[in-house]
Amino acid sequence: MSGKKQNIESRLFHGVKEFRENDFEQNREVFKNLESSQHPHTLFIGCSDSRVVPNLITSTLPGELFIIRNIANLVPYYKENHDTYVATSSAIEYALHVLKVENIIVCGHSNCGGCRALYSDRLQNQLPLTRKWLELAAPVKKLVKAKILNEKLKPCRRDMLTEQLNVVEQINHLLTFPYIKERYDKGELNIMGWYYVIEKGEVYNYSHDNQVFERIE
């Protein structure tokens, strides 16, 4: 094993020790209560990006968030008999039917490689599985291109526009799940769209009424 690999492994092992001796001890009662069950209040659907840490940006403890992470924080359309995208859809199903979460957050972020990949030719040959997955965001790509053309937006705004509109699109996908739509329409389920700006530590919440992202103060 190379010196660099040994150093990383050592850091990870040390991190486990630090957790056990500090974080765990400080929250021993929390973990004791989580011994046999979980009761999260929120389903958090976020990107797999290593810079997005749901519990950190929400200041939540273990047991509060049920987390789904994938490339570009995507949600499949509902199908009664799923044969694709089962990992994400099954986690959504479990969160709603078994855990009875009261909130869903779809969280996108700045500088998202998945969203940028929508415009990359590299997907065609080198990343076939990623290309297939990102088909779920195809409507976003079309919408962004139309906005740039029709509203004469500068192309440099493309990435942020894609990332934010993708959050809105995935909320629309969530509402194709009948049990989500029913609870949402009854006011029993709160659905939020967030946009996290990594370099500023800011989170913007999507206003369904104003159709804009507003910074959480």
Buried b (16+ CB within 10 A) or exposed e, 160-181: bbbbbbbbbbbbebbeebeebe
pLDDT higher than threshold 90 for residue 121? no
**Confidence bin at 1 (pLDDT 50/70/90):** low
pLDDT higher than threshold 70 for residue 217? yes
Q: Is residue 49 among the annotated active site residues?
A: yes
E runs forming strands in 21-168: 42-47, 65-70, 103-109
Catalytic residue among 20, 28, 51, 208: 51
E runs forming strands in the chain: 42-47, 65-70, 103-109, 190-197, 202-207, 212-215
**Confidence bin at 4 (pLDDT 50/70/90):** confident
**Confidence bin at 134 (pLDDT 50/70/90):** very high
Q: Is residue 115 among the annotated active site residues?
A: no
Looking up tokens 């079309």, which residue turns up?
Answer: 142
Catalytic residue among 109, 158, 173, 183: 109
pLDDT higher than threshold 90 for residue 10? yes
pLDDT higher than threshold 80 for residue 122? no
Q: Is residue 112 among the annotated active site residues?
A: yes
**Confidence bin at 2 (pLDDT 50/70/90):** low
Q: What does pTM read for this prediction?
A: 0.94
DSSP-derived secondary structure letter, 209: T
Mean pLDDT check: name the lowest of 88-97, 119-128, 183-192, 194-203.
119-128
Q: What percentage of residues in the chain have a pLDDT greater than 90?
A: 84
When the pLDDT of each residue in the chain is averaged and rounded to a whole number, the result is 94
Catalytic residue among 107, 112, 115, 183: 112
Q: Is residue 109 among the annotated active site residues?
A: yes
